[in-house]
């Protein structure tokens, strides 16, 4: 399987090289040269297979034989899918896919664990320096997934004052090969610093840089697996027809992985991209014009992205055809006030506790679902990760203070030279 650059289809690399490179040349992203199709009979009988068998089959097609052998890949899949990813039925039409049962209580555990184990296989010959910008959950998952991995050092950039205390604790409490850097700026500023570093040829040559954001295919591709695992569970419960999936969307890695699963043959009717006030994609769906803008801080901070990187992959999947994109993806945007009200009213109605991202996902699903469809929204993080927000909606929710006194982080200005001085250092 070759991977090509969204900005230059003549650039072709293996999965191994795409993983190590992180970002393609000219700021492009790697995508499969051809999206493989799964056998219809296999999908029809998906409930017969274990989660590990499903994960192996999907990833084998996406990776090919060159970069990882069967023994290596199965071991990586088993270590990645080492926790539950349950579908919970909430009402006749509404189901939730709980992606927060991993070690850092967020959906990014799947991608981070898969990628870290791939890089451990690939970094035998030289040390790799992983750079990652995060609005919260990516940094937590990457820190946990890469902690103690031989041959890999990780530098995590997060925006000052814009992540929860629990997220900051998860990123900055490990040490060893994990370095947390707080940037006086926004997530978009952090992401711009990382992208600039990847364009710096001398820096890449010196440090062998790689990325752990969803711009890296090894982070993105395994996120397709939870759509297959969700379909298996919906099929077992008799709710697998006319599936509509709502995805809380920030950098659009999750929904891009879902679109990939659909194009591989998974019978998903359509997707809903749920936005908060950072509604660049919502505006695109309304107008056909793609205009990025500075991100603003919201209660659902993992979605606070004004320039979603994975939009380039969505354009590639649909040959830059706006009408085709609109046929398969709708979008809605909701305010912090609407998010809090949904968290409050839904808990009162069902006793189910939503985190703010899941609340946005549910709002978007309810705005779009037709009476004969089966709805699924993604709960991307455990409410504990956003206790200060949850307690605004549910005052009696128990909150536990996080002690940051022993955490290790470096504070820098939004400055490129200050940033690159942190790479490769303890």
- pLDDT tens sequence across 362-387: 999 999 899 999 999 999 999 988 88
Q: Is residue 147 part of a domain?
A: no
Helices (H), 293-332: 311-317, 322-328
Measure the CA–CA gap between 159 and 49, rounded to whole angstroms: 42
Query: What does the pLDDT look like over 151-210, one tens digit per residue?
Result: 889 999 999 988 888 888 888 888 889 999 999 999 889 989 998 998 898 998 888 888
- What are the two backbone dihedrals, phi and then psi, of residue 135, each rounded to the nearest 5 degrees? -100, 5
Output the CA angle 179-103-359, nearest 5 degrees. Answer: 100
Residue 34 resides in a domain: no
Provide the pLDDT for residue 426: 65
Q: Is the pLDDT of residue 404 over 80?
A: no
Locate tokens 């850097």: which residue? 181
| d(C-alpha 12, C-alpha 64), whole Å | 14
CATH number at residue 340: 3.40.50.1100
In a domain, 18, yes or no: no
Within a domain: 76? no
Q: Yes or no: say if 332 and 312 are a contact pair by the CB < 8 Å rule.
A: no
Judging by beta carbons within 10 Å of its beta carbon (0-12, 13-18, 19+), is residue 114 exposed, middle or buried?
buried
Helix axes 137-146, 165-172, angle to 10 degrees: 30
Residue 369 lies in a domain: yes
Q: How confident is the model at residue 403 (pLDDT cuts 50, 70, 90)?
A: low
Tokens 């993992």 belong to residue:
302
pLDDT more than 70, % of the chain:
97
Residues 63-98 have pLDDT tens digits of 999 999 999 999 999 999 999 999 999 999 999 999
Which residue range is the domain that position 270 belongs to?
84-103+222-393
In a domain, 381, yes or no: yes
DSSP H/E element including 183: strand 178-184
Q: Is residue 317 part of a domain?
A: yes
Indicate whether 195 belongs to any domain.
no
From CA 284, how far away is CA 304, in angstroms rounded? Answer: 17
Mean pLDDT of 266-273: 98
pLDDT for the residue numbered 205: 84
Instruction: Tell me the whole-structure pTM to 2 decimals.
Output: 0.88
């Amino acid at each position: 399987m070759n991977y090509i650059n969204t900005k230059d289809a003549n650039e072709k690399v293996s999965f191994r090289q795409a993983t190590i490179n992180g970002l393609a040349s000219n700021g492009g992203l790697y995508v499969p040269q051809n999206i493989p199709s799964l056998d219809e009979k296999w999908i029809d009988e998906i409930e017969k297979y274990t989660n590990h068998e499903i994960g192996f089959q999907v990833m084998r097609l996406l990776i090919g034989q060159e970069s990882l052998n069967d023994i290596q890949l199965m071991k990586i899949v088993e270590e990645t899918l080492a926790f539950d990813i349950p579908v919970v039925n909430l009402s006749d039409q509404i189901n939730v896919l709980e992606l927060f049962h991993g070690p850092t209580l967020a959906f990014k555990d799947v991608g981070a664990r898969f990628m870290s184990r791939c890089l451990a296989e690939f970094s035998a010959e030289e040390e790799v320096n992983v750079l990652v910008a995060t609005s919260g959950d990516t940094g937590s998952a990457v820190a946990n997934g890469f902690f103690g991995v031989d041959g890999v050092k990780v530098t995590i950039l997060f925006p000052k004052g814009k992540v929860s205390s629990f997220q900051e604790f998860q990123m900055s409490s490990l040490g060893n090969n994990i370095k947390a850097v707080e940037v006086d700026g926004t997530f978009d500023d952090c992401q711009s610093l990382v992208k600039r570093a990847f364009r710096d040829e001398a820096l890449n040559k010196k440090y062998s840089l790689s990325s752990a954001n969803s711009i890296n295919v090894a982070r993105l591709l395994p996120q397709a697996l939870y759509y297959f695992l969700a379909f298996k569970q919906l099929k077992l419960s008799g709710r697998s027809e006319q599936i509509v999936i709502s995805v809380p969307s920030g950098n659009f890695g999750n929904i891009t992985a879902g679109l990939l699963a659909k194009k591989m043959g998974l019978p998903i009717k359509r997707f809903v991209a749920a936005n908060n006030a950072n509604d660049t994609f919502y505006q695109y769906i309304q107008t056909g014009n793609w205009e990025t803008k500075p991100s603003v801080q919201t209660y659902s901070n993992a979605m606070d992205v004004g320039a979603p990187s994975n939009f380039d992959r969505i354009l590639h999947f649909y040959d830059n055809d706006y009408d085709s994109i609109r046929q398969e993806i709708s979008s809605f945007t909701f305010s912090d006030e609407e998010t809090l009200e949904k968290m409050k009213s839904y808990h009162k109605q069902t006793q189910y506790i939503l985190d703010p991202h899941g609340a946005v996902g549910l709002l978007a699903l309810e705005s779009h679902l037709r009476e004969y469809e089966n709805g699924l929204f993604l709960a991307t993080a455990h409410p504990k990760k956003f206790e200060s927000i949850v307690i605004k909606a549910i005052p009696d929710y128990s909150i536990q203070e996080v002690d940051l006194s022993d955490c290790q982080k470096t504070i820098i200005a939004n400055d490129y030279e200050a940033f690159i001085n942190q790479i490769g250092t303890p």
